[in-house]
Chains A and B, each alone.
Chain A
Amino acid sequence: MSLNRRNFLGAAAALTASPLLPRAAFAADSIKLGAIHDTSGIFDAYGKPMDQAVRLAVQEINAAGGILGREVEVFAYDTQSDMALYSQYGQQLTRQDRVDVVHGGILSASREAIRQTMRKTKTPYFYNVLYEGGVCDRNIFINGVTPAQQVEALVPYAMGKAAGKKVYILAADYNYGQITARWIQKFVADNGGEVVGTDFFPLDVSDFGSTLAKIQGAAPDLVIAPLVGGAHLSFFRQWAAAGMKGKIPLASTTLGVGNEQKVLTAEEGDGIMVAYNYSQELDTPANTAFKAAWAKAYGSSDNIHETAVSTYQGVKTWAKAVDMAGSLDRDALIAAMESGISIDGPSGKITVDAKTHHAVLDVHLMEFKGQKMQVIETLPQRQPIDTQAVCDLGTNPNDNTQYEIQI
């Protein structure tokens, strides 16, 4: 209960913090940064910390004197988990607020709802979420991991832990899950394994009783489950309730992104293998400092998760690029971003890949233990090989497609 109260106080503190910021003497008018996230409704578990991350990053930038001597001002909108509002606020940000940059979007559908608006109005757009890969557009920068980056690392590790070579895949039935499942199939085959079954579940399925029976019928040695969202969490609970835990090892490419390791109890979660760009348990000075700053601003650092860190790093990368470009001009910014710019964030080094506008980043192999994601091994600087296979903005700068990567 005290934890809850602390969260609440943290939120309240965050709300009052921004107006109390010292209004230092900044030159000229402010730089406008648009932020667009679902901070209420069914996706708020992802959106709220992302919104807080934007504010924290901007607060730090302003405390250090702003960018180009100008203060950064946040224009934040709550899309309330409603796709139509993304279109509306996208227009509001670009045409009425006339912001200099937009950070945000969570689901792929929300990104696609505003991406063209950003492109048409020449507003640089940062999408800071792990996603299915393949977006090729000069106006957008993406710093989340893509399936290949993750799966390439996770599959061999998880298969090494399994007793045999038979793998069963349970994936969320949408774009991300479908594509990730195909990458898993490829890497399982590459590692000499065999996929004995692949099942897809729409995001609202929450009863997995029949699935448990089906999996046991196929008797795999490893289950990889890119399942997404609150309803799918039930799988991991029912898996443990049936006593399957400890019998067949479990890996996931998505569990933990929304801090799910804290929703599962330790006995349900322990031993599940994952691979991400970030864990709260990363023992680096940058992460320690980041968590302390977060706790200072919001009362507790418990709600930090991968997409929040990506958002924080997205804003920081943008700020560095603007500084480097020396102006807010879009083409100057893109040129700076394409110059091989990199920052050291809480999740490690992030380098912008000029060819795809995606990110080269560290992938950490982790295991759930005691409601935490313990880092087992860090694979430094993984390339976004899936998107690189289809997208080259250097030779084709006018590209504006989301490719579906054929494997």
Chain B
Amino acid sequence: MHRSAKQETLTTLTVAAGLIWLMPMLIGTYTLTVLVIYGMLGLSLGLIWGFGGILCFGQAAFFGLGAYTYAIAAINIGESTLPMLLAVLVPAGFALLLGAMMFYGRLTDVYLGVITLVVTLILFKFINSTAAPHYKIGSARLGGFNGIPGFQTLNVPGDPDAYIWGDAYFYLCALTLVLVYLLVSWLLRSSFGRVALGIRENETRMSLMGYDVAARKTVLFAIGGGIAGLAGALFANWGEIVTPGLFSLGQSAEIIIWCIVGGLGTRFGPVLGAAGLAYMKFLLGQQSLVDNTLITGLILVLFVLFLPKGLLPALTQLWRASIGRSRFGRKPQNRRMRRSNHG
């Protein structure tokens, strides 16, 4: 186990380094940056849904909360280090409270989905109705539907005039994603992660074995919230404006779709799904032959019908069927690839 963990980390780093080197030659770094950020957002839901069995309709709430926290703090502080920290802590704290409320109330599957959905809607409606000038936090106007533009973007810690942007910002985001990915891998390998998997498979059994199921789910949920918040802060820095659209139902649905398309119950799947679909949307916008909403919808339907397990498992299967059967089959990742069943 220990050896394979090291090996896996090494593989991850090699693949990541290769991608970070290769991708900027194919796609502009500005677009790549947002793909990386969406990848992180996908990973955050992939963690709590794919490995914790928590179907969350409101991952966008943490994403938006991270972005808004960053923007508001950055306006008030004028330097980006503390706002970045806050942008992880506030959503994580919010997720902790929300998770505690839900899991100690023993809410499960689709009911959990509704609560998270409703909380997202409340946040959206609140932020959306703050256009009046008296909605202020410190010197930051919340701005309602129009959002908050013009905040301090990411700078070298301690030096507010040394902005990190352009290619440098891409590399920073990519590295952050690799770090988060490794962190998630480590977490899933730890005893905490294995207990989480156990809870996903059979909650009653785990609680009879003496594990505090609610507490563990709450912590996992908070970690997912924190990662989504980090992605939100990075997104705010990238777009230089935050709008209530970040909290919207559409945004939440998109994150869920990334996970299913990429492959639920894998770590790389949601990252791949997020980046792939976001890039597809970007490409679609450059054509004007057919309505883009229609095409996106059609692709999703066809996907479910013909590739129901998601992209990554399908690719792995293809790989195993053709060349890498004997070598690849022993990797621990593949055993986890079993699709979870909810509802």
- A contacts, CB < 8 Å to B: 15, 39-41, 51, 76-80, 82-85, 87-89, 91-92, 95-96, 107-109, 112-113, 116, 173-175, 177-178, 200, 202-204, 402, 404
- Contact across chains for A85 and B285 when beta carbons are under 8 A apart: yes
- CA A41 – CA B295 in complex, angstroms? 12
Sample of 25 A–B contacts (CB below 8 Å)? A51-B288, A78-B284, A80-B292, A82-B245, A83-B243, A83-B245, A84-B239, A85-B281, A85-B285, A88-B30, A88-B282, A89-B285, A92-B28, A107-B146, A109-B145, A109-B146, A112-B146, A112-B147, A112-B150, A173-B129, A174-B146, A178-B131, A200-B131, A202-B129, A203-B128
Partner of A87 from B238, B289, B291, B292 at Cβ < 8 Å: B238
Residue B58 CB within 8 A of the other chain:
no
Most buried by A among B34, B128, B282: B282
- Whether B132 is near chain A, meaning CB under 8 Å from some CB there, is yes
Instruction: Tell me the complex Cα distance, A89–B291, Å.
Output: 18
Q: Chain B's nearest CB lies how many Å from the CB of A214?
A: 17
Interface residues of B (CB under 8 A from A): 28, 30-31, 34, 125, 128-129, 131-133, 143-147, 149-150, 235, 238-241, 243, 245, 281-282, 284-289, 291-293
Q: Is the CB of A109 within 8 A of B243?
A: yes
Closest residue on chain A to residue B254 by CB atoms: A82
Q: A88-B30, A175-B143, A200-B129 are in contact. Are A39 and B149 (CB under 8 A)?
A: no
Given contacts A78-B288, A80-B292, contact A173 B144 (CB under 8 A): yes
Given A76-B288, A116-B149, 8 extra CB contacts under 8 A: A78-B285, A78-B292, A80-B293, A109-B245, A112-B146, A116-B150, A175-B145, A202-B145
Q: A87-B238, A175-B143, A175-B146 are in contact. Are A96 and B28 (CB under 8 A)?
A: yes
Assess the A108–B128 pair: CB atoms within 8 A: no
A40 touching B291 by the CB < 8 A rule? yes
Q: Is the CB of A174 within 8 A of B30?
A: no
Does A39 contact B145, Cβ atoms closer than 8 Å?
no
B90: min CB distance to chain A, Å: 21
Cα A13 to Cα B21 in complex, Å, equals: 44
Task: Report the Cα distance A175→B143, complex, angstroms.
Answer: 7
CB of B160, distance to nearest CB on chain A (Å): 17
For B287, give the chain A residue with the smallest CB separation.
A78
| Residues of the A chain whose Cβ atoms lie less than 8 Å from the Cβ of B241 | 83, 87, 109, 112-113
Q: How far is the CB of B72 from chain A (nearest CB, A)?
A: 16
Complex Cα spacing A203 to B129, Å: 9
Structural contact, B34 and A88, CB atoms closer than 8 A: yes
On chain A, the residues within 8 Å of B291 by CB distance are: 40
Q: How far is the CA of A96 from the CA of B26 in the complex (A)?
A: 13
**8 smallest beta-carbon distances between A and B, as pairs:** A174-B145, A112-B149, A91-B30, A40-B292, A78-B285, A175-B146, A174-B131, A87-B239
Nearest neighbor of A182 in chain B, beta-carbon distance: B133
Cα A109 to Cα B243 in complex, Å, equals: 7
A173 touches B145 (CB 8 A): yes
Inter-chain contacts of B240 with A (CB < 8 A)? 87, 113, 116
Known interface pairs A15-B288, A113-B241. Does A95 touch B128 (Cβ–Cβ under 8 Å)?
Answer: no
Of listed B144, B288, B293, residue having the most chain A CB within 10 A: B288
How far does the alpha carbon of A107 sit from the alpha carbon of B149 in the complex, in Å? 13
Q: How far is the CB of A1 from chain B (nearest CB, A)?
A: 19
Please tell me if the beta carbons of B131 and A173 are within 8 angstroms of each other in the complex: yes
Closest Cβ neighbor of A203 among chain B residues: B145
Complex CA–CA separation, A84 to B277 (angstroms): 14
Which residues of chain B are near A200, meaning CB under 8 Å?
Answer: 129, 131-132
Most A CB within 10 A of own CB, among B144, B285, B292 = B285
A83 touches B239 (CB 8 A): yes
Residues of the A chain whose Cβ atoms lie less than 8 Å from the Cβ of B284:
78, 80
